[in-house]
């Protein structure tokens, strides 16, 4: 069973190329999930009051078509079993006129906020709607090229305006961040991408951005914090506009 909501694409979420930017795609998907968890319980605020929070570990997205300002979109989301005790899954779909425009699968860990460590997802009973796990056309594991294949392509500060209630860069923001470091980003659009979140980046942090070009429009990214810890690993498949 899936939770659904309908929303309208706003003009301020449209990229220079004229379609919904990747970060806005992620934001609308996760907004749909916020409504779903609030409807079914526990909500994210209720979970936090109990001393827990879901932390996204990886998000894999396939984009099938462009969404434009004024489009009426149906967002769907549902929980899905990933088969492990420490991770849970959530699937997302955005549809226009019944046709899928984007699909995504995310894996989450359940964090004990006091201990700052993951616990079994069964530690908190939930009533979330479940359905079959989506099968997307990206591999289950993100495998990056060797480090020597990566080149430093720039640095990127983390601004206060990009942070969430934990003071860390909101996970949806990373989609635009890595797209900004594509070669000639105005000529390419992402059609598939996978983001693996390895460590948080607080406001005031400066991230070094490394890129490896695999050819055929495929790019790999790694962002590194000042302390040397890897913050994000990503794969983006693009095509020409």
pLDDT, tens digit, 9 for 90 and up, residues 9-42? 999 999 988 899 999 999 999 999 999 999 999 9
| pLDDT tens digits along 115-142 | 989 999 999 999 999 999 998 765 567 8
> Domains in the chain, start-ordered, CATH in brackets?
3-123 (3.10.129.10), 147-240 (3.10.129.10)
Q: What is the CA radius of gyration of the chain?
A: 18
Contact 108, 84 (CB under 8 A): no
Band (pLDDT 50/70/90 cuts) for residue 109 is very high
Q: Does 158 have pLDDT greater than 60? A: yes
Report residue 69 as tokens: 């300002």
The confidence score (pLDDT) of residue 143 equals 86
Residue 59's SS3 state is strand
Q: Is the pLDDT of residue 156 over 80?
A: yes
User: Per-residue pLDDT averaged across 190-213, rounded?
Assistant: 96
Distance CA 79, CA 128 (A): 6
54-94 per-position pLDDT tens digit = 999 999 999 999 999 999 999 999 999 988 899 999 999 99
The pLDDT of residue 173 is above 70: yes
Please give the DSSP secondary-structure letter assigned to residue 146.
P
Q: How confident is the model at residue 185 (pLDDT cuts 50, 70, 90)?
A: confident
Are the C-beta atoms of residues 36 and 28 closer than 8 Å to each other? no
């Amino acid at each position: 069973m899936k939770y659904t909501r309908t929303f309208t694409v706003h003009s301020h979420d449209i990229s220079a190329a004229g379609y919904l930017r990747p970060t806005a795609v992620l934001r609308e998907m996760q907004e749909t999930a916020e409504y779903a968890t609030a409807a079914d319980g526990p909500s994210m605020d209720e979970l936090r009051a109990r001393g827990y929070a879901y932390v996204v570990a990886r998000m894999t997205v396939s984009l099938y078509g462009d969404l434009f300002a004024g489009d009426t979109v149906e967002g769907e989301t549902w929980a899905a079993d990933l088969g492990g005790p420490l991770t849970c899954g959530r699937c997302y779909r955005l549809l226009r006129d019944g046709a899928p425009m984007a699909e995504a699968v995310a894996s989450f860990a359940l964090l004990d906020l006091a201990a700052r460590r993951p616990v079994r997802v069964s530690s908190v009973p939930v009533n979330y709607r479940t359905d079959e796990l989506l099968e997307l056309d990206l591999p289950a594991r993100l495998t990056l090229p060797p480090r020597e294949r990566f080149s430093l392509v720039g640095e990127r500060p983390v601004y206060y305006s990009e942070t969430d209630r934990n003071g860390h860069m909101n996970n949806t923001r990373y989609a635009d961040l890595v797209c900004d470091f594509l070669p000639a980003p105005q000529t390419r659009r992402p059609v598939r991408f996978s983001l693996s979140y390895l460590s948080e980046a607080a406001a005031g942090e400066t991230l070094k951005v490394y890129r490896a070009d695999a050819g055929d429009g495929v790019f790999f990214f790694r962002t590194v914090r000042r302390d040397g810890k890897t913050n994000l690993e990503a794969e983006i498949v693009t095509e020409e506009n």
